Chains A and B, each alone.
Chain A
Amino acid sequence: NAGVMQNPRHLVRRRGQEARLRCSPMKGHSHVYWYRQLPEEGLKFMVYLQKENIIDESGMPKERFSAEFPKEGPSILRIQQVVRGDSAAYFCASSRGTGTEVYYGYTFGSGTRLTVV
């Protein structure tokens, strides 16, 4: 009964390159959430997706960042032309639904640490 799987665990990119972070939700979960944790900070919500739909991307920077959750395969958080300020830990979480489903079943992955050099 695998939990939320994120890969890679560590990712190093040079400034200007693209970063792709992957998240496979728990079995039976169709709601995916991405968070960013900057150094010395708590997690900040970025985007909420369901299969093939972006529900809420209010926490995501308008430029260079995009997210998708295709019908088949993992959710992808894509950062184009990375800058040093993008260095952070990126967490994915999943749930079966919202409201009480979040309360009872929100599950986090282990995160991807992105380092931009």
Chain B
Amino acid sequence: AQTVTQSQPEMSVQEAETVTLSCTYDTSENNYYLFWYKQPPSRQMILVIRQEAYKQQNATENRFSVNFQKAAKSFSLKISDSQLGDTAMYFCAFHTNSGYALNFGKGTSLLVTP
């Protein structure tokens, strides 16, 4: 079975602080792709960052970075200098190289407070 676990249903962080959202996944395949999506109240699924499993270097996109630990099957998201606009649900997901369906976790609701 291919599963994604996000163990933090809700998190809160103050503006300008740093927060880390955790994600673990399970797959028997060796080649796969990992994603973090943001879903604001508008419901739009917005790609935040992605990582190819065969790349050891952690991906970064401006204030967003990941800590990818392949052996531990862990893919956490770090948000630096948090902004009020970062308030949203965050979903971790992956798909295998041979596949096409994204497997999603249940999400972490992040609230950024002034």
The chain A residues found within 8 Å of chain B, CB to CB, are 31, 33, 35, 40-45, 48, 56, 59, 89, 91, 93, 95, 98-100, 102-103, 106, 108, 110-111, 113
CA separation between A33 and B106, bound complex, in Å?
19
* A-B Cβ contacts below 8 A, count: 58
Interface residues on B, range: 20 to 34
Q: How far is the CA of A45 from the CA of B107 in the complex (A)?
A: 15
By the criterion CB–CB under 8 Å, are A43 and B104 in contact?
yes
B71 adjacent to chain A (CB < 8 Å) = no
Query: Using Cβ atoms and an 8 Å threshold, which residues of chain B touch A111?
Result: 43-45
B42 to chain A minimum Cβ distance, whole angstroms, is: 7
| Residue of B42, B101, B104 with highest tally of chain A CB at under 10 A | B101
Given A33-B100, A33-B101, A102 contacting B42 (CB threshold 8 A): no
Q: How far is the CA of A40 from the CA of B109 in the complex (A)?
A: 10
